[in-house]
Amino acid sequence: MMTRDQILDAAAQIFRQKGYHAASMQDIAAAVNLQKASLYHHVSSKQEILLALLDQALELLFERISEVSNQSLAPDEKLRQMMRAYLKAMTDHFDLATVLLLEHRSLEPKLHARHIPNRDRFEALWRDVINEGLDAGAFQCSDPALTVRGLLGVMNWTITWYRPNGALTIEQIADQFASLFLDGLRRR
Amino acid sequence: MMTRDQILDAAAQIFRQKGYHAASMQDIAAAVNLQKASLYHHVSSKQEILLALLDQALELLFERISEVSNQSLAPDEKLRQMMRAYLKAMTDHFDLATVLLLEHRSLEPKLHARHIPNRDRFEALWRDVINEGLDAGAFQCSDPALTVRGLLGVMNWTITWYRPNGALTIEQIADQFASLFLDGLRRR
DNA sequence: ATAAACCTACCGAACGGTCGGTAGATTAAG
DNA sequence: CTTAATCTACCGACCGTTCGGTAGGTTTAT
């Protein structure tokens, strides 16, 4: 017997591989050994699958990052740990994270609007740690919001090229990115 | 009368807005006031449109960046200028750049394979400037290839949130990202 | 000069196929 | 016996693409 979660997992994988619009309900059905019509016993539409995946992904990432962000650590160390946690969570849930980052624009406008506030709550976690560092005099930067976008850019783009059997573990990648962001490229 | 270039321009805009698979030949035809059958007088298939756009985008970006990269500048200044040029070129050709970065995976495998070497030539421009900086003792980093990926990540992700009427110009954004990468976040 | 031949640009209609989704019968589980 | 799960069969809409044809300008042959 098939559960809704199994269907969502399979859908995430197929959405990741093909993209939302190129993936068909037929594809998803085949992946869980069902007929296409049988999917509609568990989900109400293709859009609903996408929405469920986006919510699930964002909730998971938010939880993992806020765990770290609630610890009392020095800002630089906290930032490093948050980057570790984020990249680890994304690669642990590769399909889900890829759908979140690359397919969210396939949500119909109405559902998409409902999704944005969650994004903002997530971004706030990163803005907070930057501001902590600035207040403590440990960080320097002229535009925290832009710094957050840069930070998320590096990490989000990672899932477009990361492959689990690469030379570096995701922890090593996270540490190098953290060092790069904290200390910069210029030698002195 | 309609030219092939006008059709490609319209296609780029629609591919950017909807994504390749969600965009139909009908959409493109309507955008240039033609019947969809008439498109096939100018292009041979939807895939061919995508391939033409990707080639065009990569050629344009490569040209703009190599112009800067061929100048003899100090590595840190050269990197800054390359980042400026890249972000400027991407926002000057927003539709084209978005298609390049987000829709290249919609190319059929055969065409996609033919596209990869061009990507590598482009990435090499960035690897070279990092290595120049290392050789000159101006830069420090343990893994140049990973640094390049971080660099491209920040910049590539920019087109997912950048809007031309934002508070910052693209030059300001480029400069701040360059400073962030060169000097880091940590105060000292 | 003129008419035949050709070319470019476009159109309406249609093709085979796939899409997301529905209706209703059938099977499996408790 | 009931209800949850899955099936077969089907729907209208739309997909990318092809086809036959046409209007009108340009070239070629006489």
pLDDT of A2 higher than 90: no
Which nucleotides of chain C have an atom under 7 angstroms from any protein CB? 9-14, 18-24, 29
Q: Kindly state the average pLDDT of the residues B148-157.
A: 98
B147 shares contact with chain A (CB less than 8 Å): yes
B140 shares contact with chain A (CB less than 8 Å): yes
B72 domain-assigned: yes
Contact B76, B138 (CB under 8 A): yes
Q: Provide the pLDDT confidence category of residue A42 given band limits of 50, 70 and 90.
A: very high
Q: Per residue in B101-121, pLDDT tens?
A: 999 999 999 999 989 999 999
* Chain A to chain B Cβ contacts (< 8 Å): 117
Of A21, A139, A157, the CB nearest to B156: A157
Nucleotide nearest to B28 (CA to C1'): D16
pLDDT of A135 higher than 90: yes
Q: Per residue in A164-186, pLDDT tens?
A: 999 999 999 999 999 999 999 99
User: Please, which residues have CB within 8 angstroms of residue A90's CB and are 6 or more apart in sequence?
Assistant: A61, A97, A155, A158, A159
From residue B89, give the alpha-carbon distance in Å to each of A41, B57, B61, B167, B184.
Answer: 49, 10, 7, 19, 25
A69 domain-assigned: yes
Give, in Å, how far the C1' of D17 lies from the CA of B38.
11
Number of structural domains chain A divides into: 1
To probe the interface with B, which of A46, A161, A186 has the most B CB atoms within 10 Å? A186
Q: Kindly state the average pLDDT of the residues A87-111.
A: 97
Q: Identify whether residues B39 and B131 lie together within a single domain.
A: no
As a whole number, the mean pLDDT across chain B is: 97
Q: Identify whether residues B81 and B104 lie together within a single domain.
A: yes
Contact A95, A9 (CB under 8 A): yes
Query: What integer pLDDT is reported at residue A55 of this predicted model?
Result: 97
Contact B95, B18 (CB under 8 A): no
A153 domain-assigned: yes
Q: Identify whether residues B38 and B56 lie together within a single domain.
A: no
- For the four alpha carbons of B140, B144, B146 and B149, in that order, the dihedral sign comes to positive
Give, in Å, how far the C1' of C7 lies from the CA of B43.
17
Q: What percent of chain A has pLDDT over 70?
A: 100
From residue A46, give the alpha-carbon distance in Å to each of A1, A12, A58, B110, B150.
Answer: 20, 12, 19, 29, 34
What is the rounded distance in angstroms from the CA atom of residue B170 to the CA atom of residue B93? 13
Question: What is the rounded (10 degree) CA torsion for A30, B15, A95, A91?
Answer: 160
pLDDT of B166 higher than 90: yes
What is the rounded distance in angstroms from the CA atom of residue A27 to the CA atom of residue A47? 15
Give, in Å, how far the C1' of C27 lies from the CA of A13.
30
A5 domain-assigned: no
Query: What integer pLDDT is reported at residue B25 of this predicted model?
Result: 98
pLDDT of B188 higher than 90: no
pLDDT of B162 higher than 90: yes
What is the rounded distance in angstroms from the CA atom of residue B158 to the CA atom of residue B86? 11
Output the domain CATH number for residue A95.
Answer: 1.10.357.10
Return residues with beta carbons within 7 A of strand C.
Answer: A 1, 23-27, 36-37, 40, 44-47; B 1-2, 33-38, 41-42
B188 domain-assigned: no
Of A138, A143, A150, the CB nearest to B154: A150
Q: What percent of chain A has pLDDT over 90?
A: 97
Which nucleotides of chain D have an atom under 7 angstroms from any protein CB? 5-10, 14-20
Write out chain A residues lying below 8 Å of B139, CB-based.
185-187
From residue A131, give the alpha-carbon distance in Å to each of A126, A128, A155, A175, B180.
Answer: 9, 5, 19, 21, 16
A181 shares contact with chain B (CB less than 8 Å): yes
A21 domain-assigned: no
Q: Provide the pLDDT confidence category of residue B2 given band limits of 50, 70 and 90.
A: confident
Q: Provide the pLDDT confidence category of residue B187 given band limits of 50, 70 and 90.
A: very high
B186 contacts A139? CB cut-off 8 A? yes
Query: What integer pLDDT is reported at residue A134 of this predicted model?
Result: 97
pLDDT of B35 higher than 90: yes
Output the domain CATH number for residue B32.
Answer: 1.10.10.60
Q: Per residue in B64-111, pLDDT tens?
A: 999 999 999 999 999 999 999 999 999 999 999 999 999 999 999 999
B187 contacts A184? CB cut-off 8 A? no
Shortest distance between the Cα of A1 and any Cα of chain B, in A, equals 32
User: Please, which residues have CB within 8 angstroms of residue B12's CB and are 6 or more apart in sequence?
Assistant: B53, B95, B96, B99
Q: Identify whether residues B72 and B114 lie together within a single domain.
A: yes
Q: Kindly state the average pLDDT of the residues A20-48.
A: 98
- CA nearest to A129 within chain B: B185
Q: Identify whether residues B133 and B70 lie together within a single domain.
A: yes
As a whole number, the mean pLDDT across chain A is: 97
A17 domain-assigned: no
Q: Which 3 state secondary structure label does DSSP give B140?
A: coil
A37 domain-assigned: no
Q: Is A161 exposed, middle or buried (0-12, 13-18, 19+ CB in 10 A)?
A: exposed
pLDDT of A1 higher than 90: no
Question: Domain range spanning residue A65?
Answer: 53-183
B152 contacts A157? CB cut-off 8 A? yes
